[in-house]
Amino acid sequence: MTEAAQTLTIVLAQMTQAVGDLAANADAMRTVRARHSDADLILYPELQLIGYPPEDLVLKPALADRAAILLAELAADTADGGPAMLVGSVERDGDALYNIIALLDGGRIVATRRKHELPNYGTFDEKRVFTPGPLPDIVEWRAIRLGLPICEDGWLPKVSRHLADQGAELLISVNGSPFEIDKDERRLSEVFAGRVTETGLPLIFLNRVGGQDELVFDGCSFVLNRDGATAHRLKDWDEEERVTRWTKGADGWVCETGAITEWEAHPADIYSAMIVSLRDYVTRNRFPGVVLGLSGGIDSAICAAIAADALGPDRVWCVMMPSRFTSQASLDDAAVCAELIGCKLDTISIVPAVEAFDTMLAGSFADVEVDITEENVQSRIRGVTLMALSNKFGPMLLTTGNKSEMSVGYATIYGDMAGGYNPLKDAYKMTVFAVAKWRNENVPRLSRNPVTPVMPAAIITKPPSAELRPDQKDEDSLPPYADLDRMLHMLVEEEASVDDVVARHGFDRDAVVRIERLLMLAEYKRRQAPPGVKLSTRNFGRDRRYPITHGFRTG
Supply the residues annotated as catalytic.
Answer: 46, 115, 151
Q: In this structure, what is the dihedral angle of CA atoms 311, 312, 317, 322, given to the nearest 10 degrees?
A: 110
Task: Output the furthest CA–CA distance in the chain (Å, rounded).
Answer: 92
Can you tell me the distance from the alpha carbon of 341 to that of 305, in angstroms, rounded to the nearest whole number? 6
Q: Determine the Cα–Cα distance for residues 450 and 532; give it in Å rounded to an integer.
A: 24
| Residue 100: strand, helix, or coil | strand
85 phi, psi to nearest 5 deg: -130, 140
Provide the edge-to-edge strand list for the sheet that holds 41-43: 108-114, 96-105, 84-93, 41-43, 7-14, 240-249, 252-255
DSSP helix/strand/coil, 175: coil
CB 504 within 8 A of CB 490: yes
Beta bridge partners of 205: 173, 222
**Considering just the CA atoms, what is the radius of gyration of the chain in Å?**
26
d(CA 444, CA 315): 18
CB 113 within 8 A of CB 149: no
Pairing of strands 170-174, 203-206: parallel
Asked whether the beta carbons of 445 and 309 are under 8 A apart, the reply is no
Strands 240-249 and 7-14: antiparallel
Closest by Cα among 336, 415, 327, 337 to 378: 415
Question: In this structure, are residues 208 and 14 in contact, taking their beta carbons and an 8 Å threshold?
Answer: yes
